[in-house]
Amino acid sequence: MSVFADTSALYALLVRSEPRHSAASAAFTALLQANRPIWTTSFVVVETVALLQHRIGLLAARDFDEALLPTIKVFWVDEDLYRRGTERLWREDRRQLSLVDCVSFEFMKAKDLDTAFAIDPHFAEAGFDLVPRLG
């Protein structure tokens, strides 16, 4: 069964100083060992690269792109998915919920994915199981 990867866990996986780094690393390793396909969207890729570049540096962003990203299947967001994401964002009407998250939720719904490699509690609030578990 496939899993969706969010920026929150990808960042924790890549940045050793992050509090959830060990949990993210163990969870990601377990997903790979179980041969569970890992999906993400192009929006998450852009968000992750931008976050790594801004907080850590360009080399970290490049490492993500060249070393980690090849292990993940990327769905390139099209207009339809973007529109479904924006509709959800307006419907949810929550300032702290991002467009990237709403597009992710809509992608997961469309692909019948129930598990997210994520640390962001918005995924749990949206009804998805998290790996690693929060807490």
Stated pTM of the model: 0.96
- pLDDT at 82 (0 to 100): 98
The total number of structural domains that make up the chain: 1
CA–CA distances in Å: residue 48 to residues 7, 34, 43, 72, 116 = 5, 24, 9, 13, 15
Paired tokens of 92: 């949810």
Half-sphere exposure of 120 (CA within 13 A, CB side): 25
Tell me the residue range of the domain where 44 lies.
3-131
Has residue 94 got a pLDDT over 80?
yes
- pLDDT at 10 (0 to 100): 98
What CATH number has the domain bearing residue 57?
A: 3.40.50.1010
